[in-house]
Structure 1
Amino acid sequence: MDLTPDQAALAVEHHDCPNCDAPAGSACRTRGGKTAAKYHTPRFVLVPALREELEIPVPADRHPAQEPTHLAPQPQRRPAPPGPDHRHDSAHPRRAAPGNTLANRRSPT
């Protein structure tokens, strides 16, 4: 039984993926959460007509290698504004303000 790529994708996506836990109706995911370029083997062998195939590519309309559109975007964290102890001159203690005694000391040789 030969299936078109779209029919194969629908048949594979009828099952949950045991490898990446992608739910039925969704393409497989990479470890980074993007859409995988191919369906995972443990998933497509669940379809008897596809057991002999070596790989099943994800159709282009499912946007392989992109973030899934159905997941909510993660809010980006903004760095906290500098507090009152924030040093503007330098973060290195030996290059601190001229009045710093550590900056004037030399290490013993």
Structure 2
Amino acid sequence: MLSSDKNVDALAHLLDVIAHYLGLRVEYTKLTIIAKSVKLISAAILAFVMLLLTAGILLCLSVGAAYWIATTFGIIQASLTLAGIYLIAMIIVYLGRKVFFERPIVRFLTKLLLEKN
């Protein structure tokens, strides 16, 4: 049966179709990886820019708060008070790092990498 020209042509056509399908799947996978990489990189850049802007805002607010507190206690006590407040905030952020950072990042990456298009 396989020796007839019709069967050989059908088998060759089937192999061509399968090869074309596999090539399309490879291209689709490449495009999916590129799209998800772009989303991930843009999210990282946005987070970095927001971090820089927040640091600038926090610096300006700290200087203003230090001068405001200094009118009552003096500049040294005002600086120490702000340092204590930042130390307490740092401890709170460290203790809550899983809730504040790890879980949202895992959710974001899971949603990004496992989403179906």
TM interval, short-chain normalised? under 0.3
TM-score, normalised relative to structure 1: 0.24
TM-score, normalised relative to structure 2: 0.23
* Bigger-Rg structure (1/2): 2
